[in-house]
């Protein structure tokens, strides 16, 4: 059996095929035009390096160009007796607390002897973002063991060190909320038993 081809059907199929090809070409051209015209926006991730300041505090990188934040003024410190301290930036949040050293007597007494109570301790304090190994900020507790850091909201680990084997200080984990200061106590073991 011979197939009958109608000339009008063949022309219609060719016209539809050409129309589909033209639509694909126009759509592709518009897509590539807008894809290349729009600037690509990429998130900026700064390294967690720290710069030491003249007052022994440290500042991290910030902003879209990952520049180091400005060091605090020479008169401001990270402790300042527990009030008004400046940290990495002047945030309305942070952490304050006390470093305590104990035990101070070789034998625990019953009832507890007030002379053997834990004593305040002046130590270098390093601040790390929770789970990070890069130093975020650094400062010292004063003679009363009091310290304060102005920090942005987040979770932090504070480590006190004295540069020797003992006292050995336990790290303190704190969560800083958008406003206000979290409080903590860093306990340091003297090794006395």
Token code pair at residue 47: 């390294």
Helix (H) or strand (E) run with residue 38 in it: none
Compute the distance between CA of residue 137 and CA of residue 56 in angstroms, rounded to an integer.
10
Which of 2.60.40.10, 3.30.460.10, 3.40.630.30, 3.40.50.1370 would CATH assign to domain 50-189? 2.60.40.10
The values of phi and psi at residue 80, to 5°, are 50, 45
Token code pair at residue 143: 């003679």
> Which are the contacts of 156, defined by CB distance < 8 A and separation ≥ 6?
95, 127, 128, 129, 130, 136, 173, 174, 175, 176
pLDDT for residue 174: 94
pLDDT for residue 132: 87
Contact 93, 181 (CB under 8 A): yes
* 157 confidence band (pLDDT: 50, 70, 90): very high
Residue 172: how many CB atoms within 10 A of its CB?
19
* 52 confidence band (pLDDT: 50, 70, 90): confident
Compute the distance between CA of residue 123 and CA of residue 142 in angstroms, rounded to an integer.
8
pLDDT for residue 180: 85
Average pLDDT (174-184) is 88
Strands 154-161 and 172-176: antiparallel
**pLDDT tens profile 55-84:** 666 777 776 677 777 776 544 334 433 333
Domain ranges, ordered by start, for the chain: 50-189
Could you tell me which of 60, 30, 28, 58 has the C-alpha nearest to residue 47? 60
Higher-confidence position of 111 and 96: 96
pLDDT for residue 24: 93
Complete edge-to-edge strand list for the sheet that includes strand 172-176: 135-140, 124-129, 154-161, 172-176
pLDDT for residue 83: 36
CA angle 177, 84, 130 (to 5 degrees): 35
Q: Does residue 20 surpass a pLDDT of 80? A: yes
Task: Tell me the pLDDT of the chain averaged across its residues.
Answer: 76
* 87 confidence band (pLDDT: 50, 70, 90): very low
Q: Is the pTM of this model over 0.75?
A: no
Strands 124-129 and 58-62: unpaired
């Amino acid at each position: 059996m011979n197939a009958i081809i109608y000339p009008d059907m063949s022309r219609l199929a060719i016209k539809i095929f050409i129309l589909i090809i033209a639509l694909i070409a126009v759509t592709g051209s518009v897509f590539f035009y807008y894809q290349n015209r729009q600037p690509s926006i990429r998130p900026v991730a700064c390294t967690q390096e720290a710069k030491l300041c003249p007052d022994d505090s440290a500042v991290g990188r910030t902003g879209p160009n990952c520049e180091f934040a400005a060091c605090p003024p020479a008169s401001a410190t990270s402790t300042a007796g527990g009030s008004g301290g400046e940290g990495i930036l002047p945030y309305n949040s942070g952490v304050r607390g006390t470093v305590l050293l104990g035990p101070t007597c070789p034998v625990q007494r019953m009832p507890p002897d007030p002379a053997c109570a834990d004593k305040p301790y002046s130590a270098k304090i390093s601040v790390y973002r929770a789970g990070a190994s890069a130093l975020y900020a650094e400062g010292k507790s004063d003679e009363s063991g009091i310290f304060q850091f102005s920090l942005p909201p987040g979770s932090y680990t504070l480590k006190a060190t004295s540069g020797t084997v003992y006292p050995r200080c336990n790290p303190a984990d704190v969560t800083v909320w958008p406003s206000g200061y979290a409080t903590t106590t860093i306990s340091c073991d003297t090794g006395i038993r």
